[in-house]
Amino acid sequence: VWRDGMRTVDKDVQAVTRSIVGHVQTSLARQAYNLDNLGAYQAAALSARDDLLVNWNTTQLTFTRKQPKRAYYLSLEFLMGRTLDNALLNLGLKDKFTDGVQKLGFNMEDVIEQERDAALGNGGLGRLAACYLDSSASQELPVWGYGLRYKYGIFQQLISPQGEQLEAPDPWLDNQNPWELPRLDVTYDIRFYGRADRLDDGTGRAVWHGGQEVLAVAYDVMIPGYDTASTNNLRLWESKPQRGFDLNSFNAGNYEGAVEASNSASAITSVLYPNDHTTCAPNRSIPIHFGKELRLKQQYFWTAASLADIMRRFKNAGKNIREFPDFVAIQLNDTHPTLAIPELMRILIDDEDLTWDQAWTIVTNTFFYTNHTVLPEALEKWPVPLIENVLPRHMQIIYDISMNGQVLLASNHVSDIQLTAFVEGQPKQVRMAHLACIGSRKVNGVAELHSELVQTTILKDFVEFEGVSKFGNVTNGITPRRWLDQCNPELSALITKTLKIEKSVWLKDLTKLEGLLPFAEDKAFRAQWSAIKQRNKERLAHHVQTTLGLIIRTDAMFDVQIKRIHEYKRQTLNILGVIHRYFALKKMTPEEKKKVNRRVVFFAGKAAPAYYIAKLTIRLIVNVARVINADPDTKEYLQLYFLPDYSVSLAEVLIPASDISQHISTAGTEASGTSNMKFCLNGGLLLGTVDGANIEIAEEVGENNVFFFGHLTPAVEDLRYQHLYHPVPIEEKCPPLAFVLNQISAGVFGGDGVYEPLLNTIRQSDYYLITDDFDSYIATLEMVDEAYLDKEEWIKKSIRTTAKMGKFSSDRAINEYAESYWNIEPVSIPTGG
């Protein structure tokens, strides 16, 4: 049914309220007259779910009938955030539900706020997976996601009175989850440990037996497309003891052992590992999770269950196994699912009786690998003895893959036989990026610069060996549905009114935003544009006041840096810049201060629980905020906030309120960044380094609309070498920075020396080049101030930025994967209703 230019479910407000009340009474077993917001949310969610289910069923039925080639997105993380608002917008039912809950005496915004985020991810990689699911469904592409149903998502961050990060569990499933469908009939037995005995029949086959068997149970999450009935599936696996206890231990009369085994089975999907990028503690010798058996078990449990499920679906279609790559494409989201490569080899050789070569041809035409980081400490390596113990058959296969690689190399006269899936050292380790690369059809990075770096650094040998055509780039994208229409409804409405086209048109073809360009010259339009930014600032201030009790002034520039806390992302550079500004303000006369651009600086982000330096950074920010916000000399001109417990939902309030956001990683370290795109889409300007997708954003919006600073990627290695072999004291190299560091050391922000280890990372090797980039950073911040004082010119930049962000829709990105890699096509889904 078409309404307002959108294919909506055919339902009037009365039908909506009837359905909600029905759920209150029958699903929740409550009375409509004494319902609270939480009850209203649950009933509204169940009602929306009914509509999703109809579409989901139609979609899956259509796939089963038409048997198109399908793509599967294997990701250990899906950072979905909330679902209700998004589902209603995609279904075209938001207005009716808003009216409907109002008729029942509720405010839609309050109802939406009741939902807990599904925070099954750490950051960029997990949120990217969520955006790609939205785009796949919206473009009617047959794509399923596969992940784990963690009982606990990313930890909740609390800030102690001293400013330290504390971690609390995130029991997100405690209030029931209306968005998932348990599939207690879709289960697989997943084996660990035991023995792998090679058959001596010359086939290379082996039998893997014994050990522990764990049950994988499917939970399905419906993924509605925007303005289409197409509703895809995200299948998450839960681990359970196979029969509630371990039969072997039970038979031996070992009751305690049996109970223990059941504990360890459910442990597999109990918690999301909270580390991104950092696999080592600061001394770079204490591994945080590599070598952690449970993490390896998570990875295998998930890939094995997903492959078994994909294989069962393929076989149900009655195809020949050799046609597997014609019907199945599997995208590996980073190296976390790389065990899928030896697992598919195992299935094809041991279960399907194929030869090694037949199996390898299928595998290398099925998998695609995306790399998301070139930081050496973030590259996965698994100790051989660990794999040998947990997955003995897979270790044999990995050795065989490596050996075959060596033979091929020798026959190709490649001199450098470094090309193996292994590193030397005791114990030997498997380099997962190498295995993923060898076993895949294509390998891609996530922005132009990053894809270049993948080919010239970590996978250089493979480019030489396998040819450059295996390597490519797909620049990341974001879904404009959540990251503009949902989080910034007023701006979305203004855009629709101005472009004079249906919202559903530009939200599906984001390049249409270019139509805003001429309006940058329209004074009345600029006034509306900036009034919306102002109201978004007030919405953020209101949110902070109600959640934290803090009063934020909104007559100032909002300057935002929100992302995981990491040395390479350089929150330190930002806070040192804030301190520098604070002392500059302290020195000013009242006359001078009057000309100052007022700033409110926001930080938010989590640190990996064992990442000591990152946690010190948070502590420093919180304590600097305390001093600055209380100083009567400066508080009118500079305010600083660290907002705890960063999440998708918090980002949705922060991003639309930002005038400028900071993306200031050391050049060559941030693979892409995706929040940079979200800010710019919402008319926030970008202050950043020449890194990741910042470069492509500048290419689109024009260099005069972004603020770049800092050394470029090719200079980085040289500078690091200089630091080590020709160190110059900071007092000489950068006196303003030396002053700031000394003030911190002197205790101006308290701490009694606690910040020394953080400051020493800068004073000593300064791996991330704070001392080299500080001066140009400060100079650029001053340019930002100057630009902001010219209000009209600033708004023009803001409008032009939004207008040129079309490229960064995840619709464009997912189409590149679909066309150039997976070779899949849209399947149109008949509209029900």
The catalytic site residues sit at 372, 563-564, 569, 674, 678
Q: Environment class of residue 281 by beta-carbon count within 10 Å: exposed (0-12), middle (13-18) or buried (19+)?
A: middle
Inter-residue long-range contacts of 20-26, CB under 8 Å, 24+ positions, other chains counted: 20/44, 20/47, 20/100, 20/101, 20/104, 21/104, 22/47, 23/47
Residue 428, both tokens: 């030997």
**Nearest in space to 380 (alpha carbons), one of 303, 299, 445, 462:** 299
Applying CB under 6 A, which residues contact ligand 26W? 122-125, 128, 275-277, 279, 334, 372-373, 378, 446, 476, 670-674, 692
Q: Environment class of residue 291 by beta-carbon count within 10 Å: exposed (0-12), middle (13-18) or buried (19+)?
A: middle
- Residue nearer to ligand 26W on the CB measure, 23 or 289: 289
Alpha-carbon distance of 769 to 799, in angstroms, equals 33
Provide the minimum distance between the beta carbon of 159 and ligand 26W in the complex, in angstroms, as a whole number.
Answer: 23
Provide the minimum distance between the beta carbon of 184 and ligand 26W in the complex, in angstroms, as a whole number.
Answer: 31
Any idea of the CA torsion for 170, 175, 179, 180, to the nearest 10 degrees?
80
- Residue nearer to ligand 26W on the CB measure, 93 or 607: 607
List alpha helices for 655-704, DSSP H.
Answer: 675-681, 694-701
- Residue nearer to ligand 26W on the CB measure, 451 or 798: 451
Alpha-carbon distance of 672 to 696, in angstroms, equals 10
- Residue nearer to ligand 26W on the CB measure, 190 or 671: 671
**Nearest in space to 195 (alpha carbons), one of 395, 383, 349:** 395
C-alpha distances in Å from residue 211, one per residue of 37, 194, 249:
49, 4, 12
Contact between residue 827 and residue 62 where contact means Cβ atoms under 8 Å apart: yes
Provide the minimum distance between the beta carbon of 457 and ligand 26W in the complex, in angstroms, as a whole number.
Answer: 15
The residue type at 714: P
Provide the minimum distance between the beta carbon of 375 and ligand 26W in the complex, in angstroms, as a whole number.
Answer: 8
- Residue nearer to ligand 26W on the CB measure, 17 or 333: 333
Alpha-carbon distance of 149 to 272, in angstroms, equals 9
Instruction: Determine phi and psi for 119, rounding to 5 degrees.
Output: -110, 60
Provide the minimum distance between the beta carbon of 482 and ligand 26W in the complex, in angstroms, as a whole number.
Answer: 16
- Residue nearer to ligand 26W on the CB measure, 303 or 674: 674
The residue type at 162: Q
Burial call 670-706: b when 16+ CB within 10 Å, e when fewer: bbbbbbbbbbbbbbbbbbbbbbbbbbbbbebbeeebb
Provide the minimum distance between the beta carbon of 561 and ligand 26W in the complex, in angstroms, as a whole number.
Answer: 14
Alpha-carbon distance of 670 to 56, in angstroms, equals 37
Type and span of the H or E element at 191: strand 180-192
- Number of residues assigned to the chain: 833
Provide the minimum distance between the beta carbon of 736 and ligand 26W in the complex, in angstroms, as a whole number.
Answer: 30
- Residue nearer to ligand 26W on the CB measure, 287 or 515: 287
Alpha-carbon distance of 744 to 750, in angstroms, equals 8
The residue type at 666: T
- Beta strand residue intervals within 446-529, DSSP E: 471-473
- Residue nearer to ligand 26W on the CB measure, 128 or 556: 128
Provide the minimum distance between the beta carbon of 277 and ligand 26W in the complex, in angstroms, as a whole number.
Answer: 5
- Residue nearer to ligand 26W on the CB measure, 163 or 673: 673
Alpha-carbon distance of 130 to 276, in angstroms, equals 17
Look at the alpha carbons of 352, 356, 360, 361 in this order and tell me if their dihedral is positive or negative.
negative
- Residue nearer to ligand 26W on the CB measure, 577 or 668: 668
Alpha-carbon distance of 356 to 351, in angstroms, equals 12
- Residue nearer to ligand 26W on the CB measure, 277 or 543: 277
Provide the minimum distance between the beta carbon of 161 and ligand 26W in the complex, in angstroms, as a whole number.
Answer: 30
- Residue nearer to ligand 26W on the CB measure, 638 or 813: 813
Within a 10 A sphere around the Cβ of 323, how many other Cβ atoms? 13
- Residue nearer to ligand 26W on the CB measure, 640 or 695: 695
Which residue has the CB atom at the shortest distance from ligand 26W?
Answer: 124
Provide the minimum distance between the beta carbon of 401 and ligand 26W in the complex, in angstroms, as a whole number.
Answer: 22
Provide the minimum distance between the beta carbon of 331 and ligand 26W in the complex, in angstroms, as a whole number.
Answer: 12
SS3 track for 580-638 = HHHHHHHHCCHHHHHCCCCEEEEEECCCCCCCHHHHHHHHHHHHHHHHHHHCCCCCCCE
Would residue 650 be called left, alpha or beta, if left means φ above 0 and alpha means ψ between -120 and 50 degrees? alpha
Q: Environment class of residue 511 by beta-carbon count within 10 Å: exposed (0-12), middle (13-18) or buried (19+)?
A: middle
Provide the minimum distance between the beta carbon of 696 and ligand 26W in the complex, in angstroms, as a whole number.
Answer: 12
Provide the edge-to-edge strand list for the sheet that holds 328-333: 180-192, 212-224, 231-241, 143-148, 70-74, 328-333, 367-370, 442-445, 471-473
Q: Which residues pair with 382 in a beta bridge?
A: 430
Type and span of the H or E element at 729: none
Provide the minimum distance between the beta carbon of 175 and ligand 26W in the complex, in angstroms, as a whole number.
Answer: 28
Alpha-carbon distance of 596 to 784, in angstroms, equals 12
Cα 778 from chain centre: 30
